[in-house]
Amino acid sequence: MNVYDSEQIVTSLKPLGYKITSSLEKAGLIIVNTCAIREKAEQKVFSFLGRLSRLKIKKPDLILGVGGCVAQQEGSKMLQRVPFLDLVFGTHAICRLPGHIKRIETKKCRIVDTEMIDGIDESAFVIDTEDHRKVSSFVTIMQGCDNFCTYCVVPYVRGREASREPEKIVNEIRELVNCGVKEVTLLGQNVNSYGRKEGLCSFAELLSLVNGIEGLVRIRFTTSHPKDLSDDLIYAFYMLEKLCHHIHLPVQSGSNSVLKRMNRKYTRELYLEKINKLRNICPDIAVTSDFIVGFPGETEDDFKQTLDLIKTVEFDGLFAFKYSDRPNAPASGFSHKISEREKKDRLMELLDLQERFTKKRNESLVGSTELTLVEGKSKKQSGKDAQIEPRHIQWTGRTSTNKIINFSRSDDCIACDDIFTGRMVNIKVEKALSHSLMGRPIEVEPIFDELVKGQIHQVSGAKC
């Protein structure tokens, strides 16, 4: 969601003449988009702002702004804590950002805008029709959250749950496809409850509408709340050919007593029932999850139940974090806090256990052929490495099950420098790494051959 918000910030500022630079020293405007979900993320914000103080002294006209969840949470207190800061804007203020920047440019004032609105403001969703580089794009289908998990700050910094109209979502995706996007990830704090408050279609029905968009190749979504995972949505993994075979289903704990104190509104047994249904409908589905260790009152037995759940499900991957108190979240007032040492030890034990299953899942794919949407050159090929011999260029993409797979072209076709990007390629998996796969292309969609021929004819002396 923060990636999506950052893209919206960039797009909204283009009409003012701003464009992205990778150099802080060259920037005339620096926006820090923040996350408040964990204490460590919040600490990083103020640490980074401290480093920017030296730059502000050198360039007094430099505009510094902070947006996102920390900005929404702290508001005007940030201006007091960071005296060289020019702008603080909250999660509902991105659409008002250009006006604030104009005022600061002309009046040299300091601004705080953390106003939150009810419902959806469609002016907040802007598409950069000039950006034809993206293969995959995020699309927000709803905002906010009504679940009020006791550890979570999201309802307080992103507001109450509200869903966009399906027609607006479909139109945005069509426009993205026209710009070259092949895959969309539908975003919401709990996509499973999409449209329920407003009486709109269900999330499964929305997926069916998106599935019918011509030119779109793949659909992903995040995040699902287990309590609202319907049979219709589970069945969609069988019915909808564009829906990727991957679901991120955060469970947070394997202990019913901890889940109850977290206010998650489901049990361990219900979660396992949903997993079984998913795998019966879609046997190759990849399941990933989130865990919190060291929640207040988590006993050693509670933690062992979490480890047992991981052994039972054998997740493809997971994100795990140490619990930290968050402002406004009820759990911050809970007793029986777990020591930092104990939280760290439990986290490492959990991650070490999951590492075995991630490796097992990846190794099971060696020798298989995976249809992969190529996103572009791998990160190792960026910058100066982009000038290396084409036959050594490494591309990266994702399988339907959200496995990262890297591959190199085996010949020396100098005309095909970036021809794989945005294409569906069959990759023979030859090696499994800890968190990715390596392979070689064995078949590309038919249009690829014609594109290669066209490019070869345009390159003098090219050999393929």
Angle at CA of residue 432, ends 430 and 436, nearest 5°: 115
Highest mean pLDDT among 37-51, 165-179, 373-387, 404-418: 165-179
Mean per-residue pLDDT, 9-37: 94
pLDDT for residue 379 is more than 80: no
pLDDT at position 356, please? 97
Angle at CA of residue 95, ends 213 and 26, nearest 5°: 105
With cut-offs at 50, 70 and 90, classify the pLDDT of residue 380: low
Whether the CB-CB separation of 379 and 395 falls below 8 Å is answered with no
pLDDT for residue 339 is more than 90: yes
pLDDT for residue 430 is more than 90: yes
pLDDT at position 456, please? 34
Tens-digit pLDDT profile for residues 265-323: 999 999 999 999 999 999 999 999 999 999 999 999 999 999 999 999 999 999 999 99
More confident residue, 349 or 39: 349
With cut-offs at 50, 70 and 90, classify the pLDDT of residue 385: very low
pLDDT at position 216, please? 97
pLDDT for residue 414 is more than 70: no
Highest mean pLDDT among 118-127, 182-191, 409-418: 182-191
With cut-offs at 50, 70 and 90, classify the pLDDT of residue 454: very low
Q: Poorest-confidence range of 21-30, 73-82, 391-400?
A: 391-400
pLDDT at position 418, please? 63
With cut-offs at 50, 70 and 90, classify the pLDDT of residue 453: very low
With cut-offs at 50, 70 and 90, classify the pLDDT of residue 329: very high
pLDDT at position 85, please? 97
C-alpha torsion sign, points 251, 254, 259, 262? negative
Question: Rounded distance, CA 347 to CA 292, Å?
Answer: 8
Q: Poorest-confidence range of 23-27, 360-364, 451-455?
A: 451-455
> Half-sphere exposure (CA, 13 Å, Cβ side) for 287?
23
Other beta carbons within 10 angstroms of residue 125's beta carbon come to: 18
pLDDT at position 461, please? 34
Structure tokens at 333: 């007032």
With cut-offs at 50, 70 and 90, classify the pLDDT of residue 413: very low
With cut-offs at 50, 70 and 90, classify the pLDDT of residue 206: very high
Give whole-number Cα distances, 191 to 161, 186, 227, 402, in Å.
10, 8, 12, 18
pLDDT for residue 387 is more than 50: no
pLDDT at position 60, please? 94
In the chain, the domains with their CATH numbers are 2-113 (3.40.50.12160), 122-363 (3.80.30.20), 369-457 (2.40.50)
Tens-digit pLDDT profile for residues 125-138: 888 877 767 899 99
